[in-house]
Amino acid sequence: MKNLIIGIVVVAVLALGTFLVIQSNNNNGDKTSTENQSSSTSSDSNSTESVSELTIIYSDSGFSPQSAIVKSGGTITWVNESSDELQVGVNPHPSHSGDKEITDGQFVLSIASGEKTSVRVEKKGTYNYHNHLSSLDSGTVKVE
């Protein structure tokens, strides 16, 4: 009897989950269908949607998304999924003389392999950055 109840609950949860996924896919499709068509080839590395919680993942193949937009007052979470230490620095390399809004005012934001760090951003602008230890890996964040 207990197993039957658990079985029914599991089926109900799965059905609800499937329903919610279909719902959210439909919503996204309606809102961004024209946008996705025009930039379908680069949609993996560029995000044109402004979000208040932006996650940028660094892996052995670089930053993703390479280009993204975060709202002023929001946060950027830098995730290091690469096998080495990540040191996020603003351009230009190696002086990092640009505005350090996205690196919490630091010369480099050091993140060990497997770790992550969140930075709150306020000041609007477009910030170009790179991995100080592998400066060909770069990206852009716009705060708006």
Query: Which residue ranges make up the site for Cu ion (CB under 5 A)?
Result: 89, 93-94, 132
Residue 44 CA to residue 36 CA, distance in Å, equals 11
Residue 85 CA to residue 87 CA, distance in Å, equals 7
Using the minimum distance from each CB to Cu ion, give the nearer residue, 98 or 125.
Answer: 98
Q: How far is the CB of 73 from Cu ion (least distance, A)?
A: 27
Q: How far is the CB of 63 from Cu ion (least distance, A)?
A: 14
Using the minimum distance from each CB to Cu ion, give the nearer residue, 89 or 139.
Answer: 89
Q: How far is the CB of 116 from Cu ion (least distance, A)?
A: 20
Query: How are beta strands 46-59 and 134-143 bridged, if at all?
Result: unpaired
Using the minimum distance from each CB to Cu ion, give the nearer residue, 64 or 87.
Answer: 87
Using the minimum distance from each CB to Cu ion, give the nearer residue, 74 or 80.
Answer: 80
Q: How far is the CB of 96 from Cu ion (least distance, A)?
A: 6
